[in-house]
Amino acid sequence: MVRGLFGREEVARIAASADQVYAEGIAHRRSFRHGNLFYNVAAGADGEPHVRMAQWPSYHQSVLNRVRLDTRIVGLLEPLIGHNLKQIINQIHWKAPGALGDFAWHQDSRSRRPASAYRNLADSYVQTGIAIDPHTPDSGCMRFIPRSHLRGDLGMDCSKKVLGAAMADAALDAVGLRAADAIDLLLEPGDVALWSPYLVHGSGTNCLSHRRRFYINGYVRAEDCDRGEWAFREGRPVPLGPKPVLVHFEELHERPGPHYVD
Ligand SMILES: O=C(O)CCC(=O)C(=O)O
């Protein structure tokens, strides 16, 4: 955790940009994709739509785009993965009040597909998360299992969706970990958390009345990844090109236009 990497006014700008992206997602009322830009919209217990996540808002949202390329971030990453970096995650999470935004215990490595495109995951990839709101047990903060990243791919059950599912002790028991070892990731607005794709983590139910916001960017040593947008070359920000490149959406080139997703 890096405390206060972003100051109060910067966080206010990030928050306003996130709110703008939220309003775009809500206007669709259903999950919607245009290229790599994706809004995950789900119905809450009240039957109303909630945006749980937006991927790649930085293609059109300039404040969020500047933040993902902020040189303070490459300053943190350089000692870990170097200064030639691609980006494979650019995502905002809104944890709605209630259980809609729970994340079951998982390793992010399960989502790095196809596996052949991601090499040396243990030491080539770092996920970063900027807290926009306070992350506390009440707002369903992330929980980490310390040192679990040292055990590599644990083969956790990938058959169910992680988003919208509760953290179950049985999932940890199945891979020889213990819920009793979990620690809470407590963050204030502007703090940044960094974690490995092998770190076992999840996040709980939001018992507060506001949507907890989190801005996540995932970076990888460029030579170890065939996917993703360039982010930094020799530590200098690389602007997005005229066309999106292949990241996670396999049909990017066959189905590039806007469409709703069931
Ligand atoms: O937003 C959260 O609370 C959880 C995020 C998470 O688990 C992830 O991005 O893998």
Distance CA 20, CA 68 (A): 17
93 ligand 1 Cβ < 6 A? yes
Query: How does the average pLDDT of the chain come out, rounded?
Result: 97
User: What's the 215 CA to ligand 1 centre distance in angstroms?
Assistant: 10
**Which pLDDT score is estimated for 157?**
86
- pLDDT for 57: 98
What are the residues whose beta carbons fall under 8 Å from the beta carbon of 146, sequence distance 6 or more?
181, 183
User: How many C-beta atoms surround the C-beta of residue 104 within 10 A?
Assistant: 18
Q: Is 135 in the pocket of ligand 1 (CB under 6 A)?
A: no
84 CA from centroid of ligand 1 (Å) = 25
The answer, yes or no, to whether any atom of ligand 1 lies below 6 A from the CB of 206, is: no
pLDDT at position 262, please? Answer: 79
> Residue 192, SS3?
strand
3-state secondary structure at position 75: helix
Which tokens is 177 given?
């970990």
In the reported structure, the alpha carbon of residue 95 is separated from the centroid of ligand 1 by a whole-number distance in angstroms of 9
Q: Is the CB of 54 under 6 A from ligand 1?
A: no
Q: Averaged over 234-260, what is the pLDDT?
A: 97
Nearest CA to ligand 1 atom 4: 203
Closest alpha carbon to 209 in 96, 133, 103, 131: 96
Strand 201-203 with 142-144, pairing: antiparallel
pTM of the shown model:
0.97
Give 128-185 pLDDT, tens digit per residue.
999 999 999 999 999 999 999 999 999 998 788 999 999 999 999 999 999 999 999 9
| Contact criterion met (CB below 8 Å) for 68 and 90 | yes
Cβ–ligand 1 distance for 144 under 6 Å, the answer no
Q: How many residues does the chain have?
A: 262
Residue 193 pLDDT class (50, 70, 90 cuts): very high
Q: Write the CA distances from 38 to 35, 179, 254, integer angstroms.
A: 8, 32, 16
**Residue 52 Cβ contacting ligand 1 at under 6 Å:** no
Nearest to 229 by CA among 53, 23, 68: 68
Q: Is 105 in the pocket of ligand 1 (CB under 6 A)?
A: no
Distance 142 CA to ligand 1 centre (A): 7
What digits encode the pLDDT tens for the residues 48-75? 999 999 999 999 999 999 999 999 999 9
Residue 103 CB–ligand 1 contact under 6 Å: yes
Say what the pLDDT of residue 46 is: 84
The response to whether residue 55 sits with its C-beta less than 6 Å from ligand 1 reads: no
Ligand 1 proximity of 142 Cβ (cutoff 6 Å): yes
Phi, psi (rounded to 5 degrees) for 114: -70, 145
What is the distance in A from the centroid of ligand 1 to the CA of 132? 14
